[in-house]
A and B are shown apart, each in its own frame.
Chain A
Amino acid sequence: MFLINLIIFLFLLLMVLMAYFLFKRLDKQIEATVIEQEKYFTLIKNIPGVAYRCKIDKDWTMEFISDPIEEITGFKATDFLGNKVRSFSSIIYPEDRQLVEDEIKKGIEKNENYDIEYRLLKVDGDLVWVKERGRAIYDWYGRPLFLDGVIFDISKDKEILAEVRDKSEELEKQKKAILNILEDVEQEKKKVEILANDLEKFKMAVDNVSDHIVITDPEGIVLYGNKVVEKITGYTLKEALGRKAGSLWRKPMAQEYYEKLWQTIKTSKKPFFGQITNVRKNGEEYEASISISPVLNNSGKVIYFVGIERDITQEKAIDRAKTEFVSLASHQLRTPLSTINWYAEMLLNGDAGKLQPEQTNYLEEIYRGNQRMVDLVNSLLNVSRMELGTFVVDPVDCDLKEIVDEVIKELTPRIKTKKQKFNLEYDVSLSPMKLDKKLMHMVLENLLSNAVKYTPEKGQIGMLIGKNKNNLEIKVSDTGMGIPFSQQDKIFTKLFRADNVRTTDTEGTGLGLYLVKNILEHSGGKINFVSQENKGTTFTVILPLSGMKKKIGTKSLT
């Protein structure tokens, strides 16, 4: 019995001891658990998000939810515990609730983590983007008991993302735009290439033509010169670029020449044509024909000048030789013409005995024909003297009226024959002036004889001589056949004769008006006209009241 009691006692003692140790251990365990738990709490508190454990129900009833939920939503964590104040489900943005449910369900079924991004409603009514990651906890039988997980505020990320998205959209747009531009550029490039090819061709053409070509800015500063510039002038392009065009090689010309040039190209914006003397780098002079054209932009402003020059020394020499030949030939012709003239005259005068009427008649034809030849030869000689620049203008004081009367006297028989009415108006207040009598005579004689010649019988011829401002003005008018409008610009051209006079009068030489214009231009005068076919013509000669300008030369005109 005792033994049994002892055994029981011992057993009980053992039990007590065991219980003691058990409790002791349990206590320690609890203590450890608490410490452990606090450690976790601290840990949980410190993680930058919300930790939770919730039931798997429609409210997602919270068993635990960490404090940062307040930071994110403004709602206290304790509000959610056991749905005390509100359920967690109630703060999920309604549109996202289904998504949350579905994703969690999927995670539970597959025993996998779920990751969801969704929106929560904040206490102030705003929305906040969160990211939740969690996993279900199962029991021994594999039945899901809870969800454990964390929720992070990703609104910042979202913003950044949105920003990034915006940026990338923008970038995308820009990229597209750039691509478009690139495409355009590509097309443009092709165009430019074509253009460049054309330009290259042009440049090659311009570089290799035989004329000297210079492009300048509106002030005349050389921007471009072709190879010929170097070849002709002897100066290198390096020397010429950046300088005033022609400053290196131009032989100084009269001020008036330059004034006219600039007036034409800069003010009137028209091409200028002229002849000029240049000097090569080696000092050799050469004649050049020049044309300078303004290049205008859309608004009509001069942006460049293009100057083309050609060395015409050779042509000039040939031309001179030709003129000299004409001069010599006409000169040689004059001696036999004089002979014919004088013998015919002597015969007509009866120096060799009285002639039969028919003989006289024939001889008169010979004499007239010869006289025409003399006139032609004289004109040709005058023209050649003009072109050689050798003729003289030698003005002396004289009374214009005397010359006028002389010319009228010469032409009166012809005016009478044609029964034309002639009217002279002469301003008697005109004082004597410097005139080259012979040249003035030639001018008036040509104009008046043309008027008589090209005006039908009984027509009217007028001569009006007076002052106009500081000028002497001589008008010779007729009611004749006129100059066809289309040919008016050629009327002063050497050897030119208008169609209408060519058919009616075969005697003209086409030299008269050319001579007249040249005489006037070399003596400080001018000539112009108005004309209407079959109505008449009026030529107007203008000279300074002081008279003609002197011109030094070696030959006078006849």
Chain B
Amino acid sequence: MLYKILIVEDEPAILKALTRKFEKEKFVVLQARDGLQGLEMALKEHPDIILLDIIMPQMDGMSMLFKLRENAWGKEAKIILLTNLSDATKVSEAARQGVFDYLVKTDWHIDEVVKKVRDKLKE
């Protein structure tokens, strides 16, 4: 079966890299450029997993996360925070929203991102 992944990322180059990678891995990739778009798409498409950037224009990742958690489907959605920040306060806030997975983009190989996503999907 094909997994549906939503990537919410404002940086085009990163978004493109991840999209290409996951398409290669036979994912159905949905893209969003900010939190607002991401939220809308998530609620409409109900992806299997969401890769969520934190720092974004319009609505940042954290706000989107909070909004999502208010939704019945969104409450249980699988989310991996994707960030350049290893921001402890944000991470602990996210943890309170049931998101324990986050990865710092520079610290990970792109293959490992895929692996992490697959692991998460298996949970």
Chain A residues at the B interface, C-beta cutoff of 8 Å? 331, 334-339, 341-343, 345-346, 349, 351, 374, 377-378, 392, 394, 553-558
Chain B residues at the A interface, C-beta cutoff of 8 Å? 11, 13-14, 17-18, 20-21, 24, 84-89, 91, 104-107, 109-111
In the bound complex, do residue B86 and residue A558 qualify as a contact, i.e. CB atoms below 8 Å apart?
Answer: yes
Residue among B20, B87, B91, B107 making CB contact with A346, cutoff 8 Å: B20
Report A-chain residues with C-beta under 8 Å of the C-beta of B91.
556
User: Given A338-B14, A558-B106, 6 other A-B contacts at CB below 8 A?
Assistant: A334-B105, A335-B11, A346-B17, A346-B20, A394-B88, A555-B87
Knowing A334-B106, A338-B106, A346-B110 are in contact, say whether A555-B13 is a contact too (CB < 8 A): no
- In the assembled complex, the Cα of A424 lies from the Cα of B85 at a distance in Å of 35
Chain B: minimal CB distance from A375 (Å): 9
Report B-chain residues with C-beta under 8 Å of the C-beta of A345.
109-111
Chain A: minimal CB distance from B105 (Å): 4
A-B contact count (CB 8 A): 64
- In the assembled complex, the Cα of A339 lies from the Cα of B105 at a distance in Å of 9
Residue among A335, A392, A553, A557 making CB contact with B84, cutoff 8 Å: A335
Some 15 contacts from A to B, beta carbons below 8 A apart, are A335-B11, A338-B84, A338-B105, A339-B11, A342-B17, A343-B13, A345-B109, A346-B17, A346-B20, A349-B111, A554-B88, A555-B87, A556-B87, A557-B86, A558-B86
What residue in chain B is nearest A351 (Cβ atoms)?
Answer: B24
Residue among B13, B84, B88 making CB contact with A331, cutoff 8 Å: B84
Chain B: minimal CB distance from A369 (Å): 14
Report A-chain residues with C-beta under 8 Å of the C-beta of B17.
339, 342-343, 346
Knowing A338-B14, A339-B14 are in contact, say whether A558-B110 is a contact too (CB < 8 A): no
- In the assembled complex, the Cα of A488 lies from the Cα of B17 at a distance in Å of 46
Tell me the interface secondary structure of chain B in the complex: helix
- In the assembled complex, the Cα of A465 lies from the Cα of B85 at a distance in Å of 33
Chain A: minimal CB distance from B11 (Å): 5
Tell me the interface secondary structure of chain A in the complex: helix
- In the assembled complex, the Cα of A334 lies from the Cα of B11 at a distance in Å of 12
Complex A-B, nearest 10 residue pairs according to Cβ-Cβ distance, in ascending order: A338-B105, A339-B13, A342-B17, A342-B110, A334-B84, A558-B86, A556-B88, A392-B88, A374-B106, A554-B89
What residue in chain B is nearest A385 (Cβ atoms)?
Answer: B86
- In the assembled complex, the Cα of A351 lies from the Cα of B22 at a distance in Å of 11
Report A-chain residues with C-beta under 8 Å of the C-beta of B89.
554
- In the assembled complex, the Cα of A334 lies from the Cα of B91 at a distance in Å of 18
Chain B: minimal CB distance from A130 (Å): 117
In the bound complex, do residue A377 and residue B88 qualify as a contact, i.e. CB atoms below 8 Å apart?
Answer: no
Chain B: minimal CB distance from A548 (Å): 15
Report A-chain residues with C-beta under 8 Å of the C-beta of B14.
335, 338-339, 342
What residue in chain A is nearest B105 (Cβ atoms)?
Answer: A338
In the bound complex, do residue A558 and residue B11 qualify as a contact, i.e. CB atoms below 8 Å apart?
Answer: no
What residue in chain B is nearest A343 (Cβ atoms)?
Answer: B17
In the bound complex, do residue B86 and residue A555 qualify as a contact, i.e. CB atoms below 8 Å apart?
Answer: yes
Chain B: minimal CB distance from A409 (Å): 16
- In the assembled complex, the Cα of A394 lies from the Cα of B95 at a distance in Å of 15
Report B-chain residues with C-beta under 8 Å of the C-beta of A377.
106
Chain A: minimal CB distance from B69 (Å): 23
- In the assembled complex, the Cα of A378 lies from the Cα of B85 at a distance in Å of 11
Chain A: minimal CB distance from B79 (Å): 19
In the bound complex, do residue A351 and residue B21 qualify as a contact, i.e. CB atoms below 8 Å apart?
Answer: yes
- In the assembled complex, the Cα of A541 lies from the Cα of B64 at a distance in Å of 44
- In the assembled complex, the Cα of A555 lies from the Cα of B87 at a distance in Å of 5
- In the assembled complex, the Cα of A339 lies from the Cα of B110 at a distance in Å of 10
- In the assembled complex, the Cα of A558 lies from the Cα of B104 at a distance in Å of 9
In the bound complex, do residue A555 and residue B88 qualify as a contact, i.e. CB atoms below 8 Å apart?
Answer: yes
In the bound complex, do residue A341 and residue B106 qualify as a contact, i.e. CB atoms below 8 Å apart?
Answer: yes
What residue in chain B is nearest A558 (Cβ atoms)?
Answer: B86
Report B-chain residues with C-beta under 8 Å of the C-beta of A341.
106, 109-110
- In the assembled complex, the Cα of A339 lies from the Cα of B10 at a distance in Å of 13
